[in-house]
A and B are shown apart, each in its own frame.
Chain A
Amino acid sequence: MIALLGRDLALAVRAGGGFGLGLAFFLIVTVLVPFGVGPEPRLLASIAPGILWLGALLACLLSLDRILALDWEDGTLDLMATAPLPMEALVSVKALAHWLTTGLPLVLAAPAMGVLLSLPAPGYLWLTLGLALGTPALSVIGTFGAALTVGLKRGGLLLSLLVLPLYVPTLIFGAEVARRGAVGLDVATPLAMLAGITCGTIALLPFASAAVLKVNLR
């Protein structure tokens, strides 16, 4: 498993690995929002938590089809299926690698983006914490979507269509944490719900992803 994680991380940071593209996308979305809604700081501050969550979610979404499609194309998945590593472990590691290369940078960059959107001071902690708790769920759910669409030539759009409804609860609770945090309200409930969703998906969804991947390999 460590070997697979190491390889995926190495692939991501080498040329053509696409590391940082998600981050750049996040930056561009954040920069474009004030162009769309106007530079009024009060307005920006009120929509900042939602926009930042949405930007992070979309940045995650963009890189989902790379999770498994590349390994599918070059035959690695076939060979992995005959290897001693169980499929469940494979998809979990894939999700973890995706989170480390896409989700984690987004979490770390979020405060800087918050400055651009004049996020109120108490919001930074909760935005970052919420993203840190929520983005693993985005990666795990995304891996499920990637496993569903892995054999398809034009899977990208379908992948988005399948994954976005599944992102709804995470987005709602995550954005709620940031929004409440920004105005100084109590965040315990949405934070607990967000953590619950993340734990639940990490624990259960790999089984579904592995089952789906096996179906797609045969």
Chain B
Amino acid sequence: MLRVEDLCVARGGVPVLEGLGFSLAPGEALVLRGPNGSGKTTLLRTLAGLQPPGSGRVEMAPDSAAYAGHADGLKATLTVAENLTFWARIFGRRDIAAALEGFELEPLADRPAGALSAGQKRRLGLARLLVTGRRLWLLDEPTVSLDTGHVATFARTLRAHLAAGGAAVIATHIELGLEARVLDVAPYKARPVEEPEGYAESFL
């Protein structure tokens, strides 16, 4: 479902991680660990195709990934249901009932997103993943501002997604109770270039 070979990711033109390689089969999840600023977000953005890899390859079926970053992409003046419907239609789908149910959002369906608490917004942002119908989820700190009860809800939804043949790459520090491999990105930290001659284009 996802194959990464010898990947180097860069932030602002400076390599942050290099030599990354892993693959993910349907039903599997990969948890990214590493201190703040170690490049987890950059890696996820590269996997999502938001930025080109510095070198190496990312292989996945086209249009299979759904990305959820720090911002949820919600419009304050639209209601919860309207926000979800919008994203569903962008991904060519209609049904939002399952997504509302998966994150216990039904009672809030007609509330404007602007009137939600931070945790409720986060749940709505995660529910967006369900309406995309994408099989590979790329999640950047998905549990931020969720209470323990809803972390469990999220973990349950995630397990259901994996059981249905989905996959996920998750950058998180919270134990979600998944049988997931853990990838610590710290050892892959990009080393400064040793050989200036070979890197003329990068001005060193």
Is A10 in the interface zone, CB < 8 Å from B?
yes
Q: Give the CA-CA distance A11 to B65 in the complex, in Å.
A: 27
B70 partner residues in chain A, CB cutoff 8 A = 75
Kindly identify which residue among A71, A76, A82 contacts B65, using a CB–CB cutoff of 8 Å.
A82
Is B188 in the interface zone, CB < 8 Å from A?
no
Q: Give the CA-CA distance A115 to B39 in the complex, in Å.
A: 61
Per-residue B-contact encoding for A61-76, CB less than 8 Å = 1, 0 else: 0000000000101111
B92 partner residues in chain A, CB cutoff 8 A = 84
- Looking at B45-53, B175-183, B189-197, the stretch in contact with chain A turns out to be B45-53
A15 partner residues in chain B, CB cutoff 8 A = 77
Per-residue B-contact encoding for A7-18, CB less than 8 Å = 1, 0 else: 100110011110
Q: Find the B residue at minimum CB distance from A73.
A: B71
Is B40 in the interface zone, CB < 8 Å from A?
no
Pair B73/A78 contact, Cβ less than 8 Å: yes
Pair A11/B50 contact, Cβ less than 8 Å: no
Per-residue A-contact encoding for B84-111, CB less than 8 Å = 1, 0 else: 0111011110000000000000000000
Q: Find the B residue at minimum CB distance from A1.
A: B90
Pair B50/A4 contact, Cβ less than 8 Å: no
Is A81 in the interface zone, CB < 8 Å from B?
yes
B91 CB to nearest A CB, Å: 6
- The residues in B between 40 and 83 inclusive whose CB is less than 8 angstroms from any CB of A are 45, 48-52, 63, 65-78, 82
Most buried by A among B50, B51, B72, B90: B90
Q: Is the interface of A mostly helix, strand, loop or mixed?
A: helix
Q: Give the CA-CA distance A75 to B45 in the complex, in Å.
A: 13
Given A3-B86, A74-B72, A75-B70, does the pair A81, B77 have CB atoms closer than 8 Å? no
Is B128 in the interface zone, CB < 8 Å from A?
yes
Kindly identify which residue among B63, B69, B77, B90 contacts A17, using a CB–CB cutoff of 8 Å.
B77
Q: Give the CA-CA distance A74 to B90 in the complex, in Å.
A: 17
Is A79 in the interface zone, CB < 8 Å from B?
yes
Q: Find the A residue at minimum CB distance from B67.
A: A82
A79 partner residues in chain B, CB cutoff 8 A = 67-69, 73, 87, 128
- The chain B residues found within 8 Å of chain A, CB to CB, are 45, 48-52, 63, 65-78, 82, 85-87, 89-92, 128, 132
| Nearest 4 Cβ contacts at the A-B interface | A75-B71, A3-B89, A218-B51, A76-B73
In the complex, given contacts A10-B78, A78-B69, what are 20 additional A-B residue pairs having Cβ atoms less than 8 angstroms apart? A3-B85, A7-B75, A11-B75, A11-B77, A14-B77, A14-B78, A16-B76, A71-B73, A74-B72, A75-B69, A76-B71, A78-B45, A79-B67, A79-B68, A79-B73, A79-B128, A81-B48, A81-B50, A82-B48, A82-B50
